[in-house]
């Protein structure tokens, strides 16, 4: 997770400083505190950070770690109850498994205009293999298969939208992604706008984006942006990054992708298989063909050969057939 923590530091460094100066932070379910301590020590964005941990053995380690850093304070407490320091400018929720037991407290403990960062690692539930558990836990029917992780990210966002709404709040993703065995979202907590949030149940028979399968309807899913393009453009590899090259590549891909921020992505081999084309077309030929037709296209962080586009599926499939017929 070193690269992901590098990205957290990059995120904090890209935030516009508050009028009061440096931020206050809270790491829920902190364990050893490594994520929050790196944020406090490396981002130069925080005046103080509170760390909560309820496991006695983990808390002993956390206390020793926190003692080395000015501005850090450890609490042996259940993170379902906010510290007296709340509200915070930044709240980080990175539990083992599902975050839903702590989500309401996290969203209630951030100042309006502040940020809540949420990680979920229960991908067997969110990404489709355990649909009954997903319905029970998140109230949603998951997408299964290669698009399942992004579907899980969008289910998590829809759940957090609903939870924020019950608190008289709303959320706006600044950066949200699916990676390896987890999904993570950095969310600005804002006042409700009065407009309905972009959360939908997708009927695969009417859906003209990438093929999601025939086990729908899917969702509720967040179908709005995963990125704030202006914010993503400010991300830079932090000076003390543990994996600078990895983070640089990931940020570069996010910048490209944020310009074509549409739900779900295509892959040439999946398209070829669905259309009965023996040899998948190259990604370059698809990109060039879509751009020649006036559509936008960008590669995605989720898969090396995946791409997003604002083209309807019918146009994408027509292009792939044309390329395949020329081979």
- Walk along the chain (327 residues) and give the pLDDT tens digit of each residue: 889 999 999 999 999 777 667 799 999 999 999 999 999 999 999 999 999 999 999 999 999 999 999 999 999 999 999 999 999 999 999 998 999 999 999 999 999 999 999 999 999 999 999 999 999 999 999 999 999 999 999 999 999 999 999 999 999 999 999 998 999 999 999 999 889 999 999 999 999 999 999 999 999 999 999 999 999 999 999 999 999 999 999 999 999 999 999 999 999 999 999 999 998 999 999 999 999 999 999 999 999 899 999 999 999 999 999 998 775
Cα-Cα end-to-end distance for the chain: 43
Q: Which two tokens stand for residue 199?
A: 């959360």
Instruction: Please state, in angstroms and rounded to a whole number, the distance separating the CA atoms of residues 156 and 93.
Output: 13
Instruction: Please state, in angstroms and rounded to a whole number, the distance separating the CA atoms of residues 189 and 85.
Output: 18
Could you tell me where in the chain the CATH 3.40.50.150 domains are found? 2-258
152 backbone dihedrals φ, ψ, rounded to 5° = -65, -40
In this predicted structure, what is the pLDDT of residue 325? Answer: 75
9: alpha, beta or left? (left if phi > 0; alpha if psi -120 to 50): alpha
In this predicted structure, what is the pLDDT of residue 19? Answer: 66
- Asked whether the CA dihedral 222, 228, 229, 234 is positive or negative, the reply is negative
Fold exhibited by the domain 266-325: Phenylalanyl-tRNA Synthetase; Chain B, domain 1 (3.30.56)
256 backbone dihedrals φ, ψ, rounded to 5° = -60, -45
DSSP conformational letter for 141 = B
320: alpha, beta or left? (left if phi > 0; alpha if psi -120 to 50): alpha
Bridge partners for 27 per DSSP: 51, 92
In this predicted structure, what is the pLDDT of residue 99? Answer: 98
Could you tell me where in the chain the CATH 3.30.56.70 domains are found? 266-325
Cβ burial of 256 (10 Å; 0-12, 13-18, 19+) is middle
pTM of the model: 0.96
User: Does CATH place domain 2-258 in 3.40.50.150?
Assistant: yes
In this predicted structure, what is the pLDDT of residue 180? Answer: 86
Cβ burial of 170 (10 Å; 0-12, 13-18, 19+) is buried
Output the CA angle 158-234-148, nearest 5 degrees. 30
In this predicted structure, what is the pLDDT of residue 223? Answer: 98
Tokens 């299964």 correspond to 144
Bridge partners for 121 per DSSP: none
Residues contacting residue 24 through CB under 8 Å, at least 6 positions apart: 46, 47, 48, 49, 50, 85, 88, 89, 90
Contact indicator for 187, 174 with CB cutoff of 8 Å: yes
């Amino acid at each position: 997770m070193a690269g992901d923590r590098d990205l957290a530091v990059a995120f904090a460094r890209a935030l516009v400083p508050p009028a009061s100066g440096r931020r206050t932070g809270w790491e829920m379910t902190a364990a050893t505190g490594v994520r929050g301590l790196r944020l406090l020590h490396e981002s130069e964005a925080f005046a103080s950070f509170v760390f909560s941990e309820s496991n006695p053995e983990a808390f002993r380690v956390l206390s020793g770690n926190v003692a080395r850093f000015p501005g850090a304070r450890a609490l042996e407490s259940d993170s379902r109850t906010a510290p007296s320091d709340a509200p915070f400018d930044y709240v980080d929720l990175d539990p083992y498994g599902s975050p839903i037991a702590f989500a309401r407290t996290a969203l209630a403990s951030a100042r309006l205009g502040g940020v809540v960062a949420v990680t979920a690692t229960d991908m067997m539930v969110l990404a489709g293999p355990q649909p009954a558990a997903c319905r029970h836990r998140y109230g949603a029917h998951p997408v299964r298969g290669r698009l399942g992780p992004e579907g899980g990210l969008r289910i998590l966002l829809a759940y957090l939208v609903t939870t924020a709404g019950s608190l008289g709040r709303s959320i706006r993703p600044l950066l949200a992604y699916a990676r390896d065995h987890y999904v993570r979202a950095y969310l600005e907590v804002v006042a409700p706008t009065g407009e309905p949030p972009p959360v939908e149940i997708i009927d695969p028979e009417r859906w003209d984006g990438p093929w999601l399968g025939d086990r729908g309807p899917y969702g509720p899913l967040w179908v709005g942006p995963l990125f704030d393009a202006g914010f993503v453009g400010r991300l830079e590899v932090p000076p003390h990054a543990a994996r600078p090259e990895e983070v640089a590549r990931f940020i570069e891909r996010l910048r490209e992708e944020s310009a074509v921020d549409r739900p779900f992505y295509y892959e040439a081999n999946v398209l070829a298989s669905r259309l009965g084309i023996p040899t998948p077309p190259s990604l370059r030929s698809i990109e060039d063909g879509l751009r020649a037709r006036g559509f936008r296209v960008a590669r995605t962080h989720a898969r090396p050969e995946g791409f997003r586009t604002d083209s309807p599926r019918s146009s994408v499939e027509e292009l792939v057939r044309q390329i395949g017929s020329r081979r």
